[in-house]
Every structure is written in C-alpha cells, then in structure tokens.
Amino acid sequence: MRQVVLDTETTGLDPQQGHKIIEIGCVEIKDRRRTDRQFHCYLNPERDIDEAAIEVHGLTTDFLADKPRFNHIEQQFLKFIEGAELIIHNAPFDIGFLNQELSGTTSDCNSLELICSVLDTLSLAREKHPGQRNNLDALCKRYEVDNSQRSLHGALLDAEILADVYLAMTSGQSSLLLGEDQSEGSSTIKNTRLSDPNRPVLTVLKPTKEELQAHEKRLMDLDIESDQGCLWLKLDSE
C-alpha cells in the first residue's frame, strides 16, 4: 500500500479569504515503511502573509519572492500523490487549501479526493486518546518521537515527524529508518532529521506581557467572528 504523508504552510487560516499555500511537504510510505521519496517546494503566494502565520512558520514574503507559483508545480505535485492514501493531521485544513489552489488552475483535477483517499490523523488520535491533547507536539511526546528540530513549523519536517507518529500510533513500530532493525514492543523512534539549509534563519523574540494579552484578545475576536471558531484556540485546547 502506498501512502503519502502531507503537510502545508499557508499565509493565513482561511482560503476563502484569499489566503494561499506557501510550502508543501510530502514523504512516501510503502507497505508501512518510509522510503527516500519526497516532494517539497516553497511557493510565492503573490500576497502578504499574516503576522500570526509568520510567527508559526517563519516564512516571509522576501524569502518567497523568487519561488514558483502553485500552477508551476501543480502537475509534478499531483503526479507524486496520485493514487496514494494521504495522511494529514487536521486534513480538512490542508485539503481545503489545496482544493482552492487547484480550482484556480486549468487542471482537470479540482479536488484531491478524486485521485486520493484521505486519512486524518487528528481524528484518529482523538479516537485513540479522547479528552487529551492531540496536536503534533503532544503526539510526539506520547509516542516518544523526536521533534527536537521543530522550533518552527515546516511542511517537510512536519510531514516527516507525522509519518513517524502515524506509524507508531497505528502499529507501535520502534523505528522507521530503511534497513534498520526493529524491536517489538517499543514505540521509541530515533530518526535524525536535518533542518532545510535554505530556510531563512530567524531571530526569535519573546513577546511582552502586553503583546501576549493583545494576541489573546485578537484570537478571541476571531473566535467570535468566525462561524467555525478560531483554529489556533481549538488546537491550544486539545
């Protein structure tokens, strides 16, 4: 069975408000083992990026200025994922953005569900661990998956981590490295991951008390204004 673990980074929360994908990361799993095949690209969204989003992933308009547009990588991306089961954490978010991007191209495929099946690991985690935090960092801690490189969100790094979490969560495998011996009954995963050397280096500034209060108020306002609530508040409460 072929599966593709997928993650995206975006300019904001809602594709219906014109927000765009700025990074796609995919890793391949075949017969429950990671392969060395992957798909990764940064994208120029041709629009501003929300400050709150930059705080999450660190990607700026300056860094993305010379990157391709989605329609330039669309066929390569679709070829990589076609026929696979997509493994995505909070799948409606990523699928919603990708389908919105596809709708703006000349592609015959305007919905990923036409060429792939989708498994949402957030829903799976909630079934296995009701009432507990089930964001990616919490699952890494629960299944002893190394996420020490994850100072900021990154689509490819997060896809690699999610692949490890998914396999641990569904089988208790102790290792996902190709050719590495596996011991039964252990869920500890010790893959070594390297950060993308082309990713911009950011100085992390701690917010002041006033800035934290203003940020919290903004999230609460978004929660009230949106019919579906504020995604970040929901993730924080998991």
Residues labelled catalytic: 153
Beta bridge partners of 206: none
The DSSP symbol for 6 reads E
Helix, strand or coil, per DSSP, at residue 18: coil
Helix (H) / strand (E) element for 25: namely strand 21-30
Measured CA to CA, the distance from residue 78 to residue 178 in angstroms comes to: 25
Beta bridge partners of 8: 24
Tokens in use for 54?
């930059």
The answer to whether the CB of 57 falls within 8 A of the CB of 154 is yes
- The strands making up 2-10's β-sheet, listed across from edge to edge, are 33-42, 21-30, 2-10, 85-88, 117-120
| Residue 228, number of CB atoms within 10 A of its CB | 10
Helix (H) / strand (E) element for 91: namely helix 91-103
Measured CA to CA, the distance from residue 22 to residue 8 in angstroms comes to: 7
- Cα torsion for 58, 62, 66, 67, to the nearest 10°? 20
